[in-house]
Amino acid sequence: MSDVILKNVVKNYGGRFLAVNDLTTTFKAGEFVCLLGPSGCGKTTTLRMIAGLERPNSGELLFGERVFFSSRSGEFLRPEKRNLGLMFQSYALWPHMTVEQNVVFGLSMRKATAAEKASRFEELAKLFHLDGLGGRYPRELSGGQQQRVALARMLAVNPSLLLLDEPLSNLDAALRLEMRAELKRLHNTLGCTVIFVTHDQLEAMTMATTIAVMNKGIIEQMARPMDIYHRPATRFVANFVGNPPMNMVDARQGDDLAAWLGNARPFPARTVETFGVRPEALRMAAPGAGAMAATIDTIQPTGADWIVGLAVAGRPMFALSAEPPPAAVGETVGLTLKADGVHAFDGEGRNLEAVA
């Protein structure tokens, strides 16, 4: 088992658009790493560079002791030599091959015998519930089956590293939940390193053992999912992870609201530009209770929770509550704070507590 190591990796397209900007990081062996970020943040480019489908402009890319790419020595290991598994968003099943031919393709490339291929397919078909589908063509399969064929094809050659490029985005919600569980179980049984690209924070939170939040070609923060959520290093991370998103309050006006948030817990004594409040940290109580008053603007019940739109000191905020709100739309409620749901960011968007 080896770590994936990136050193000062730069990738730009046509010399203009900087996709990955001087990225240095290590993805530990055995982890389920999610590269999370908005579109255009460089996450897919990073994945494709690890796969060898894109060549970095400069930097070094190592897999344990093996050099995948080095701009210093000019080495570049071709993708077909890297022994990786890569799964695409479109699955990229070959439409002119049957399920079995698709799955054993990698084995053919490794000169496996017909018997080896057949028994490996048998094994994988059992694992991924593809029994009896070996002779079908991809277009004759459902979306979930296609997905499992793509997984089986990737795993057939026992790759040492799995790379997944938004493989769940084409599935409907129910199937997605099932596949998330499947992938997580797979990671537990195989124990190999997985790098997973997604823009869906729910996917990242639910599956990853490590999340790397990317923005504009750099990793803003890499940490355990719960740490990403509870201790976001930057304003960007805080805002990107969480649904409904964190309430951002401009602190520079120095009004009652800012003062109230600033007293939630002792923050480092530096200038705060923005306070961030998780919606579930805003707790509604009867009018008069709590230090702050708010007017209920909208109520959106989701079934399990209530998303309540509030006007607090003239500013819009969202609260997330497992209890029904104590008042109706247009009425006033009192607010209390759950102190660890409040974060303070400086002018550069850094979390004050993370900088200290």
Which residues are at the interface with another protein (CB under 8 A)?
51-53, 78-86, 88-96, 105-106, 109-110, 137-139, 143, 146, 153, 157, 170
Nearest residue to 315 via CA among 238, 244, 245, 249: 249
Residue 348, classified by CB atoms within 10 Å of its CB into exposed (0-12), middle (13-18) or buried (19+), is exposed
Q: How far is the CB of 290 from another protein (least distance, A)?
A: 47
Tell me if 236 sits within 8 A of 276, measured CB to CB.
no
Q: How far is the CB of 85 from another protein (least distance, A)?
A: 7
Q: Tell me whether residue 30 or residue 79 sits nearer to another protein (CB atom).
A: 79
Q: How far is the CB of 32 from another protein (least distance, A)?
A: 19
- Report the relative pairing of strands 315-321 and 332-337 from DSSP bridges: unpaired
Q: Tell me whether residue 105 or residue 267 sits nearer to another protein (CB atom).
A: 105
Q: Tell me whether residue 19 or residue 342 sits nearer to another protein (CB atom).
A: 19
- The vertex-202 CA angle with 197 and 207, nearest 5°, equals 65
Q: How far is the CB of 247 from another protein (least distance, A)?
A: 34
Q: How far is the CB of 198 from another protein (least distance, A)?
A: 15
Angle between helices 114-127 and 99-109 (to 10 degrees): 130
Q: Tell me whether residue 4 or residue 284 sits nearer to another protein (CB atom).
A: 4
Q: How far apart are CA 203 and CA 217, in angstroms?
A: 21
Q: How far is the CB of 248 from another protein (least distance, A)?
A: 32
Q: How far apart are CA 164 and CA 98, in angstroms?
A: 22
Q: Tell me whether residue 140 or residue 340 sits nearer to another protein (CB atom).
A: 140
65's CB contacts (< 8 A; 6+ apart) are 2
Q: Tell me whether residue 42 or residue 225 sits nearer to another protein (CB atom).
A: 42
Nearest residue to 299 via CA among 320, 270, 278: 320
Here the tokens at position 85 are 């598994």
Q: How far is the CB of 173 from another protein (least distance, A)?
A: 17
- Output the CA torsion sign for 241, 247, 253, 254: negative
Q: How far is the CB of 191 from another protein (least distance, A)?
A: 21
Other beta carbons within 10 angstroms of residue 35's beta carbon come to: 30
Q: Tell me whether residue 16 or residue 78 sits nearer to another protein (CB atom).
A: 78
Here the tokens at position 294 are 């708010």
Residue 91, Ramachandran bin (φ over 0: left; ψ between -120 and 50: alpha; else beta): left
Single-letter code of the amino acid located at 50: I
Q: How far is the CB of 78 from another protein (least distance, A)?
A: 8
Q: Tell me whether residue 87 or residue 344 sits nearer to another protein (CB atom).
A: 87
Q: Tell me whether residue 198 or residue 247 sits nearer to another protein (CB atom).
A: 198
- The per-residue DSSP string of 190-223 comes to H--EEEEEES-HHHHHHH-SEEEEEETTEEEEEE
